[in-house]
Amino acid sequence: MTGHYIALEGIEGTGKSTIAARLAGHLEQRGIDVLRVREPGGTATGERIRHVLLDPGGLVAPWSEALLFAAARAQLAAELVGPALRSGKWVVSDRSVYSSLAYQGGGRGLGVTEVRRVNAPGLGEVWPEMVVLLRLDAVTGLARQHDADRIGGEGIDFQTTVGEVFDDLAAAEPGRFVVVDASKAIETVWAAVLQQVEKRWVISSTG
Ligand code: TYD
- Ligand 1 centroid–CA 15 distance in Å is 13
pLDDT digits (tens, 9 = 90+) for 101-113: 999 999 999 999 9
Q: What is the mean pLDDT of the chain?
A: 95
- Ligand 1 centroid–CA 207 distance in Å is 31
- Inside any domain, residue 36: yes
C-alpha span between 162 and 99 (Å, rounded): 9
Domain of 109, CATH number, reads 3.40.50.300
Tally of domains in the chain: 1
Q: Is the pLDDT of residue 202 over 90?
A: no
- Inside any domain, residue 207: no
The closest residue, in CA terms, to atom 25 on ligand 1 is: 99
Which pLDDT score, from 0 to 100, does residue 207 have? 44
- Inside any domain, residue 130: yes
- Ligand 1 centroid–CA 40 distance in Å is 7
Question: Which residues does 204 contact at the CB level (< 8 Å), separation at least 6?
Answer: 30
Q: Is the pLDDT of residue 91 over 70?
A: yes
- Ligand 1 centroid–CA 26 distance in Å is 24
- Inside any domain, residue 156: yes
Residue pair 189/207 in contact (Cβ under 8 Å)? The answer is no
Ligand 1 atom with the shortest distance to the CA of 38:
3
Which pLDDT score, from 0 to 100, does residue 38 have? 95
The closest residue, in CA terms, to atom 22 on ligand 1 is: 100
Q: What are phi and psi of 135, to 5 degrees?
A: -95, 130
- Inside any domain, residue 206: no
- Inside any domain, residue 150: yes
Neighbour tally for 38: CB within 10 Å: 18
Residue range of the domain that includes 73: 4-200
pLDDT digits (tens, 9 = 90+) for 138-180: 989 998 987 778 888 888 999 999 999 999 999 999 999 999 9
Global confidence as pTM: 0.96
